[in-house]
């Protein structure tokens, strides 16, 4: 009944709006209502007459600078406002409409229709109701008109008085931030976040903070994420969002124990204040009990349509039995893995639902995104757990999971650890042959790629296991086709194993390969920490020759971010320097005197190149 009314109302209102726009005067609307409007309401002339004045009263008029021209509601014994000539009580006053008329409907429809200068003027008039802006913005975004959606939603945040932003501002803000992100307007996005954090209403600051931290965490910029957190703590000391953000941050920084302690602190503090509802308190209690599992559960639940298949996968992986042994042969170039007919059959069935091939040219990549059809392949895999006996299936699954969840430390336990256990068993078999295991021989790349995906998947959530796995792969793959040396080096430095890091940085890379910036910088940091300052200076000269931006970029407190392309940045570029800063600056900051030393070195390098 109500659904039918909404449909009738929308049809009628659309027609009424067109009739009003003909000359923006009331009589034209009433003439339309009796002649044509009645057709939208199943021939009910009383309803058609009664509805017209209601809609007229809320319609913005261009000739009045987008103000409305509402008619005074007649008294019961006065002539009806539909101009029927009868008394109100015998005419429209006696009609009850089947449902409500939203108070901003005509504004929303007008915003949907207007274009160009008219739309611009309407938005600038400042008269559009927040609800209409939000709905019109949503409609435009859903229809793929992202520029239009942005223009409409920005209006909400152009008012001078942010203290009175309506509650619709929250979804509008989230949508607008997403639009900026999709369209690559990074500066606008940063400016809006900044403005909200500085002078926005409290309910928006929490959301803005969450966005900002997640943005930095996404790009691995832990230092900026921590900065945003500290700033938020000053403005919103009692927000439950802080508890959740701090747990994420600490897990990203590799401190699970501290994450638990801090979540406990937040729980006790916020429970005492008594402002939270039961659900929020339960979430904080869970967070204090097991931050990783709680965040993982929340992550999976937030996946909407995929929540159930992902939970199925977690259950499947938890119950996984020991991996079967693989068959290896020893050939001229060392150990060779050849897939068996059984493994091929499993992989073919999996490939059928997975639908995407691995990019054979890349160390880690697909030819297309496998996630749009993830519901299908997750469900199929849960029905056929035996498919995971095929290393090729483990490879694609690990790669797909790493691409989506690898940056979230709390997903390591339920997704990557069980697959790693399977892989490590196969690795033991390879190592037992004590022969080289070369990338481009037989099906070896399948196993190496699976290993790399697991190293990446556990890199943030289980650093030690990730590093140990990477070290073992590096021994097998002497040419470092997977680019693991830099990764192992960074992890050794994080664990304070400086001598081992130094030794690793000393190994020659492949013959024609240029040294990697991360490896060279890691060497400098290791030497500095070992107090071998002369050698550190020398190593820094090699860095400067490779990339002239990285020293300045590391020293600066707030350098302008360099957008990273999808591909690995070119050697010598600012993007390469920025990437290193994002990954490792926290280690330089944490090393006493290191940044100060680097600043002095920067001076030295500048003088040297000035004197040339």
Residues that bind Zn ion (CB under 5 A): 49, 80, 82, 84, 91-92
What is the C-alpha separation between 297 and 291, in angstroms, rounded?
A: 10
Please give the full DSSP string across 174-211, using - where no structure is assigned: HHHHHHHHHHT-HHHHHHHHHHHHHHS-HHHHHHHHHH
Q: Which lies closer to Zn ion via its Cβ, residue 53 or residue 240?
A: 53
For the chain, the residue count is 612
Q: How far is the CB of 98 from Zn ion (least distance, A)?
A: 17
What is the C-alpha separation between 319 and 313, in angstroms, rounded?
A: 10
What is the C-alpha separation between 463 and 572, in angstroms, rounded?
A: 28
Q: Which of 23, 5, 100 is nearest to 54 (CA)?
A: 100
Contact 106, 58 (CB under 8 A): yes
The tokens for 324 are: 């079967």
Q: How far is the CB of 35 from Zn ion (least distance, A)?
A: 16
Integer distance in angstroms from the first to the last C-alpha of the chain?
Answer: 84
Q: Which lies closer to Zn ion via its Cβ, residue 92 or residue 378?
A: 92
The half-sphere exposure of 154 on its side-chain side, counting CA atoms within 13 A, is 16
Q: Which lies closer to Zn ion via its Cβ, residue 92 or residue 417?
A: 92
3-state helix, strand, coil in the chain (%, to 5): 70, 0, 30
Q: How far is the CB of 43 from Zn ion (least distance, A)?
A: 17
What is the C-alpha separation between 395 and 362, in angstroms, rounded?
A: 14
Q: How far is the CB of 78 from Zn ion (least distance, A)?
A: 11
Q: Which lies closer to Zn ion via its Cβ, residue 45 or residue 306?
A: 45
Q: Which lies closer to Zn ion via its Cβ, residue 92 or residue 105?
A: 92
Beta bridge partners of 366: 358
Q: Which lies closer to Zn ion via its Cβ, residue 41 or residue 80?
A: 80
Q: Provide the sign of the torsion angle of the four alpha carbons 298, 303, 305, 307, taken in this order.
A: negative
Q: Which lies closer to Zn ion via its Cβ, residue 87 or residue 146?
A: 87
For the CA atoms of 200, 206, 209, 214, the dihedral, rounded to the nearest 10 degrees, stands at -140
What is the C-alpha separation between 443 and 336, in angstroms, rounded?
A: 7
Q: Which lies closer to Zn ion via its Cβ, residue 54 or residue 480?
A: 54
Q: How far is the CB of 73 from Zn ion (least distance, A)?
A: 11
What is the C-alpha separation between 53 and 20, in angstroms, rounded?
A: 11
The half-sphere exposure of 218 on its side-chain side, counting CA atoms within 13 A, is 9
Q: How far is the CB of 88 from Zn ion (least distance, A)?
A: 7
Q: Which lies closer to Zn ion via its Cβ, residue 81 or residue 416?
A: 81
| Residue 492: DSSP 8-state | H
Q: How far is the CB of 248 from Zn ion (least distance, A)?
A: 60
Q: How far is the CB of 45 from Zn ion (least distance, A)?
A: 10
Q: Which lies closer to Zn ion via its Cβ, residue 34 or residue 468?
A: 34
Q: How far is the CB of 91 from Zn ion (least distance, A)?
A: 3
The tokens for 285 are: 């209690």
Contact 176, 168 (CB under 8 A): no
The CB density around residue 117, as the number of other CB atoms within 10 Å, is: 8
| Residue 513: DSSP 8-state | P
Question: Exposed, middle or buried, 435 (CB in 10 Å: 0-12/13-18/19+)?
Answer: middle
Q: Which lies closer to Zn ion via its Cβ, residue 38 or residue 82?
A: 82
C-alpha triplet 420, 426, 427: angle, nearest 5°: 80
Q: Which lies closer to Zn ion via its Cβ, residue 19 or residue 80?
A: 80
């Amino acid at each position: 009944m109500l659904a039918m009314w909404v449909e009738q109302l929308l049809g009628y209102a659309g027609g009424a709006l067109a009739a009003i726009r003909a000359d923006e005067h009331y009589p034209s609307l009433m003439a339309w209502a009796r002649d044509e409007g009645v057709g939208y309401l199943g021939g009910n002339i009383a309803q058609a007459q009664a509805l017209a004045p209601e809609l007229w009263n809320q319609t913005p008029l261009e000739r009045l600078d987008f103000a409305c021209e509402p008619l005074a509601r007649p008294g019961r014994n006065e002539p009806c406002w539909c101009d029927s000539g009868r008394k109100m009580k015998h005419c429209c006053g006696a009609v009850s409409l089947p449902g409500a008329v939203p108070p901003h409907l005509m504004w929303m429809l007008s915003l949907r229709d207007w274009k160009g200068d008219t739309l611009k003027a309407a938005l600038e008039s400042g008269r559009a109701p927040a609800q209409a802006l939000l709905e019109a913005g949503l409609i435009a975004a859903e229809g793929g008109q992202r520029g239009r959606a942005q223009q409409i939603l920005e209006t909400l945040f152009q008012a001078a008085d942010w203290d009175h932003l309506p509650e619709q501002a929250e979804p509008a803000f989230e949508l607008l931030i997403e639009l900026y992100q999709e369209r690559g307007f990074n500066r606008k996005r940063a400016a809006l976040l900044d403005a909200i954090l500085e002078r926005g209403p409290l309910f928006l600051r929490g959301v803005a903070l969450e966005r900002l931290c997640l943005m930095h965490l996404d790009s691995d910029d832990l230092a900026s994420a921590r900065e945003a957190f500290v700033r938020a703590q000053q403005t919103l000391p009692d927000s439950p969002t802080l508890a959740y953000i701090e747990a994420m941050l600490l897990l990203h920084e590799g401190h699970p124990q501290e994450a638990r302690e801090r979540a406990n602190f937040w729980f006790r503090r916020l429970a005492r204040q008594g402002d939270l509802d039961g659900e929020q308190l339960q979430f904080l209690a869970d967070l204090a009990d097991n931050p990783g599992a709680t965040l993982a559960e929340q992550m999976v639940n937030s996946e909407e349509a995929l929540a159930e298949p992902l939970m199925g996968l977690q259950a499947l992986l938890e119950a996984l039995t020991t991996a079967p042994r693989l068959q290896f042969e020893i050939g001229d170039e060392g150990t060779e893995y050849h897939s068996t007919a059984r493994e091929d059959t499993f992989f073919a069935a999996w490939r059928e639902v997975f639908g995407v091939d691995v990019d054979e040219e890349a160390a880690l990549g697909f030819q297309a995104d496998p996630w749009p059809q993830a519901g299908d392949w997750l469900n199929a895999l849960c029905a056929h757990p035996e498919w995971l006996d095929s290393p090729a299936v483990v490879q694609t699954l690990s790669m797909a999971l790493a691409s989506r969840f690898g940056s979230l430390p709390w997903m390591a336990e339920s997704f990557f650890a069980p697959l790693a256990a399977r892989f490590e068993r196969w690795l033991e078999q390879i190592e037992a042959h004590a022969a080289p295991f070369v990338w481009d021989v037989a099906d070896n790349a399948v196993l190496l790629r699976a290993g790399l995906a697991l190293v990446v998947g556990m890199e943030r959530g289980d650093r030690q296991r990730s590093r140990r796995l990477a070290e073992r792969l590096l021994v097998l793959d002497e040419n470092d086709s997977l680019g693991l040396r830099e990764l192992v080096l960074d992890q050794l430095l994080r664990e304070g194993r400086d001598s081992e890091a130094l030794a690793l940085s000393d190994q020659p890379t492949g013959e024609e390969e240029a040294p990697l910036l991360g490896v060279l910088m890691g060497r400098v940091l290791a030497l500095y920490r070992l107090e071998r300052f002369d050698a550190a200076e020398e190593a820094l000269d090699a860095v400067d020759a490779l990339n002239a931006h990285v020293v300045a970029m590391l020293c600066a407190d707030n350098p302008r971010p360099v957008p990273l392309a999808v591909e690995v940045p070119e050697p010598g570029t600012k993007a390469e320097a920025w990437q290193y800063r994002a990954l490792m600056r926290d280690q330089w900051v944490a090393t006493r005197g290191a940044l100060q030393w680097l600043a002095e070195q920067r001076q030295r390098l500048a003088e040297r190149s000035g004197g040339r």
